[in-house]
Amino acid sequence: VQLVESGGGSVQAGGSLRLSCTASVRIFSILGWFRQAPGKEREFVAAIHRTGSHKYYSDSVKGRFTMSRDIARNTVYLQMNGLKPEDAAVYYCATGARYGSRNAADFGSWGQGTQVTVSS
């Protein structure tokens, strides 16, 4: 499985970005977003079930970030609103098989990441 992220960039605090992740295969169970800031561990952000009907988020982004998917395009999106400086990181998408997991070890294929920078 190949995953390609896009949509990162630089915004001011309070701004918005929409990240995209396109998969090379149509069928996957779970697709998640993680992020990693310099000097920190990779952190779970959000994940969506392949049906698109079930999603879950980390407490730090709940209410600000929304995940969705376009089945026809094999693409999932992460709409990020109300960005804060602490949201700055490289964002990665990854495929998983355990719904509800927030552990990076439960996710197999990873994209190359897209940088998000948030200035205060």
Q: What is the pLDDT of residues 24-64, one digit of tens each?
A: 987 678 999 999 999 999 999 999 998 888 999 999 999 99
Write down the pLDDT at residue 95: 93
What local confidence, expressed as pLDDT, does residue 89 receive?
Answer: 98
Nearest to 57 by CA among 72, 74, 73, 79: 79
Residue predicted with more confidence, 73 or 43: 43
